[in-house]
Each structure stands twice: as structure tokens, then as C-alpha cells.
Chains A and B, each alone.
Chain A
Amino acid sequence: MENRVVVSGLGIVSSLGSSIDEFWSNLTEGKSGISQVSSFDTSNLERHYAGEVKEFDPSKFYSFSDMALMPRTHQLAASATVLAAGDACLKDFKDVGLALGSLVGGLEYVEGLTKDISTYPVNSVSAHVCDVLGIESGVYTLSCACAAGNYAISLAYDMIKSGKEDIVLAGGADYFSMSIFLSFYRLFSLSAARCQPFDKNRRGLLPAEGAGMLVLESLSSAKRRGARIYAEVLGYGTSVDAYHAVIPSEEGVYSCMMNALDYSGVAASDIDYISAHGTGTVPNDYVECKAIKKLFGEKLLKNLPVSSIKSMLGHAMGAASSIEALSCCLAIDKAFIPPTINYETPDPDCDIDCVPNQARKKALDVVLNNSFGFGGMNCSVVFSRFS
């Protein structure tokens, strides 16, 4: 028999806070976590803003003998995982699985910021989390570009649904990397100081960092433990369109969302809210809106809010979609939709209800979390209110 899968714990480290309450309160107040870059010198560049986690101290969340040797991605991942596990009141991790997404991983080694080559491979992020918590069960590391967090949640969902695991810690983590900043800089894709998804004058994204981890659990296990349930995972959809190195395709994005609805057993009319990939670049928002319009049609779109929290957090790469997944669970739990801030000028190419500038109270039954990565790695996850 297939297991139902629920979310029983959340952990976040972000530029808008490193506790669920602080993060959610900042998000729904429409605050920005964007600030001037402090981790390296940008004085020779024309762009200076990002979503860094200021004053991040991993020792506040866990202790580790060689903490100083650990790259920041590893520290962010372990911190958020410890927070999620604590939120779910988990104590024994021997039989708990881990599915972790990361784009940058231990790139700090290449950038010369750490000296230990063993922390360079992306899978070493998971290894560190396992080391910290004593995880011995199924452990997977997914490098699926900017959709890595959603891919990790999807894998965890299947692991539990099929009965392989009862509990899986799932999500993504990435630090604010100089290489990523410079890559987007050379692609002329960085906004000056504000990220403005869906706005006619949007100029690009703002790189960020953080980690978002969710505790996914079979319903029977959650009931047995008397766990708090934030939301249920109904399913997911993926598509690999291989259309372009950096530009999403309308067909790929459409198929991804369609597959998510099919696998989850819901209709387009069931979706109450979409947490958009919404990077704030001209091509992404244009393509995402076109695909949403094609799938949902004009009639459904009139009552379908679609917001991008990247407007507040920036783009945390492999962590982005897991942070957004966490936001979806809170939106369901609190009946509140976070806004798209910095929205000023409507774009006829993006004529959706982007929940401009103000959070909105709304009871949500089913929500869709979109994420699209470079190379056409797309993944959307469907969450619902648990009943």
C-alpha cells in the first residue's frame, strides 16, 4: 500500500531569518533580505547587492569539532537540518533518510576560501549533515541546478510513498558564491539593487544564500509520534526540456506543471496559489507566465495568485525551491500568501495576479511550487492542506 506523505518539520537559515517565526513574519510583512555584498569586494564591479545571511554562526545551531574547516554550504545545510529535526521533535536519526539538493556545494575550495579538498564534491554537503546528525539510512545528493531543492523533496516523497523510508529530511542549501555572482554578472542578468519579478522594468535576479529543510514523513509515522503536520505532499512533476543552456522553454515549464498536477491527482482548478520560480529576469518571468496562462487559462487565472518570494530573498540557487516549498507549507498552515515586493509597473507579458507588495489572507487547500533550473531541469511540487 502506498503511504501518504506529510510535512512534519521545517528548518530555515536565510537572509530573512533563521527561525520559522522570524522568517514568516518578515516574509508576510514584505521585508527585503537584500543588502550590500559583504563577503567579497565588489568595488570594481557595477553590481553590489545580494541576499547574504548576515552574522551566520553555525555553532548557534550545532556543535562540530572541525567547524572552521567546513564550507559555508555545509554549515547552512546542517544548521537548517538540525532546526527542521528539532521542529519535528526527532531524536534518533539512524533510520532517517536524507535528500539534499545543492548547486554550488563546496565551491569555496576552488575559490580558495577553504583548504580541505574533501569538502569540494557536492555530496560532501550531505556527508557533513549525516556526520552531524548520525544519519545512516538512505542518503542522496541532488545537483539539479536551481530546482535542486524541489527535486530533493520529490525524491523524498517517492522514498516514503513506496515504503522505503518512514522519515526523510529533504531540502537544499547553497552559500553565496563569488563564482555564481560573477557568472550572472557576465550574463548581464544581475539587477542593480532590487529584484522585481513580473514588473515591466525588471532587470534581473539577485543571488542569495541559505538553506531550507523539510521533514517529510509517512502519515502513519507522524500519527504514531503525534507530530504536528504543516501540510501534505500530494506529488510532483518534472520535465527536462534541454531547450537551452539558460533560458526556460514554455513547453518544458508547461509540461512540468502538468505532470505535477497529473501525478498529484489534482485538476488545474484545484490550485489555490502558485509559488513562482519568478527570478526577476526578463526571459524567466515571461516564459513562466506564458506557460501558466496556457495551463490555467484566463478564467482560472482571474482567481489564482502567483507570487515570487525571490523578490524578498533573492535567488538562493539550489536552496531556493526548498525555501519556497517551506514558504508554501507555511502559507497553507497560516492561510496567508506572501507577496511579490518591488512591483511597480505592470507588464502585459506577465499579466498575472502576482500578489503585489502586500501579503494576502486566503485559505489555501492546494498549492503548486515551481522551480526551473539551467539546462531545462524543471520540477514542480504540489502541497495541500492536511485533512
Chain B
Amino acid sequence: MNEKIRKEVIETISNLTKIPKEAIDPAISFRDAGLDSFALVEVVFSLENYYDITFPQEGLLDIVTVNELVDFIEKLLAEKEKTESDSGTKEAKDGK
């Protein structure tokens, strides 16, 4: 798992919810950590801006823990990188 992303996600949650970073256990559920679904959406908005990604409609409701959220972001970042690299290859081929 990407440690950097894990740290950044915990920091974002802590900033938005005022829960101390040390108290956020990445393995327990958001609900048990005191985050309701709306707080999670606020966390997602912040992470979207930070990483310049868009969360898809499907999938978010199935994410229960910080660790799962980190996995999800890793996948989105990998997809983003691939899209940007494909687009770069195409532009190079087109001579742009």
C-alpha cells in the first residue's frame, strides 16, 4: 500500500474532522471512527482537489476503511497516469 497516500488521506480526514491524526486507525470503519457518510463526501471532495481526480459514482459506498480508500485512490491515480500517458503518446504521434 502506498504510504504517502495513506499519510495524506489521514491528514485530510484529520484537518476536516479535527480528529487527531494519531487517533485515526486506517483499519477500522469510518462509522466507528466517528465519520458519517456526509463527512466522507467532504473528505472525498478535498481529495479530488488535492490529487486532481474525480471519484466515480460507483464504488464509494463500498469503501468502509481508510485503507480501502487509499487503495481506491491508488487505482484512480494509476488510471489518470495511464490516460495522460496515452494522450501524450497520441499527441507525439500527431506531431503536436
Contact = CB atoms under 8 A, between A and B. Distances in A.
Contact of B38 (A190, A192, A247): A247
Contacts of A186: 41, 45
Interface in B34-93: 36-38, 41, 44-45, 55-58, 60-61
Given A203-B61, A282-B61, A187 B38 contact: yes
Contacts of B45: 186
Interface of A: 46-47, 185-188, 190, 192, 203, 244-247, 282-283
Q: Give the interface SS of chain B, mostly helix, strand, loop or mixed.
A: helix
B32 to A, nearest CB: 15
Contacts, number: 30
A282 B40 CA distance: 14
Contacts of B56: 46
Given A46-B56, A47-B57, 14 more contacts: A46-B58, A185-B57, A186-B41, A187-B38, A188-B41, A188-B55, A188-B60, A192-B58, A244-B36, A245-B38, A246-B38, A247-B37, A282-B61, A283-B37
B58 to A, nearest CB: 7
How many chain B residues sit at the interface, stated as a range, is: 10 to 19
A87 B56 CA distance: 47
A46 B56 CA distance: 8
A188 B40 CA distance: 10
The listed residue with most B CB atoms (<10 A of its CB), out of A185, A186, A188, is: A188
A192 B59 CA distance: 12
The listed residue with most A CB atoms (<10 A of its CB), out of B57, B58, B60, is: B57
Nearest to A201: B61
A190 B55 CA distance: 14
A225 B32 CA distance: 60
Nearest to B45: A186
Contacts of B38: 187, 244-247
Contacts of B37: 247, 282-283
13 contacts: A186-B41, A187-B38, A188-B44, A190-B57, A192-B57, A192-B58, A203-B61, A245-B38, A246-B38, A247-B37, A282-B61, A283-B36, A283-B37
